Amino acid sequence: MQICKVCGSDILEKTSSTGLRVFLCIVLMFLPYGLLYCWLPLIREHTYICTNCGTESKASEIETIDSREMESRNHDYGKMVEEAEGLIDKWIMTDSNELCKLIYLKGQLFVVGVDSESAITYRMLKYKAEENLIVVDSRVGTKHQIYRTLVSGKGYNITDYGKTVMPLEEQGLIESGDYEHIVSTLAGKYSLIEGMDIERIA
């Protein structure tokens, strides 16, 4: 079983086309000395995209595991979801003063980190309950972004995907970009979870 190195999903799509390579090879064949190098397109490594997290990988970068290992990984993930259950849909103010929310969507855990300038979607990788630490990865494919940074680099928009998980009033609140107001409103409404921290691995 071939899986994505970043998120462990086995839904990989080939992005390079064999047909195009054969076509290029035939075209090159008719060029001067073409027979010497027309085979080059055929030996280039194939590329894949993970439909789960959006990571692009070369064939050599894809991890191969057996079904037993896949099962054990799924089991570990399920265990993490169980352990983090009390935090799902909750707002957290970390020890490093970062505001974030844990979200469970389509069988996966995400963290949305909000400050005055950005709202970043992270994929949750580990929950170390004994250390009160959440380990996240910022490599989240466009399909799973809850907020998307605008092309200009300034500001962000909620995605259609995000609209399905963020309550309407929170959408408006975060969009306001007024960080102090966001924190005080959320703290007044839900009381923020404290004593936790976030570690980013990418």
**Is there a contact between 90 and 186 (Cβ–Cβ < 8 Å)?**
no
Contacts of 78 (CB under 8 A, 6+ apart): none
User: Of 25-33, 52-60, 73-81, 176-184, which part binds Zn ion (CB under 5 A)?
Assistant: 52-60
Distance (Å, whole) CA 158 – CA 150: 10
User: Of 55-63, 119-127, 169-177, 186-194, which part binds Zn ion (CB under 5 A)?
Assistant: 55-63
Beta strand 119-128 pairing with 108-114: antiparallel
Size of the site for Zn ion (CB under 5 A): 8
Selected binder of Zn ion within 3, 41, 48, 50 (CB under 5 A):
50
Does 52 sit near Zn ion (CB under 5 A)? yes
Pick the closest to residue 110 from 159, 144, 156, 161 (CA basis).
Answer: 144
Distance (Å, whole) CA 166 – CA 5: 29
Selected binder of Zn ion within 41, 55, 99, 102 (CB under 5 A):
55
**Is there a contact between 34 and 25 (Cβ–Cβ < 8 Å)?**
no
Nearer CB in complex with Zn ion: 21/200: 200
In the complex, minimum distance from the CB of residue 4 to Zn ion, in angstroms, rounded to a whole number: 3
> For residues 3-42, which are near Zn ion according to CB under 5 A?
4, 6-7, 9
In the complex, minimum distance from the CB of residue 57 to Zn ion, in angstroms, rounded to a whole number: 8
Tokens found for residue 35: 């027979």
By the criterion CB under 5 A, which residues form the site for Zn ion?
4, 6-7, 9, 50, 52-53, 55
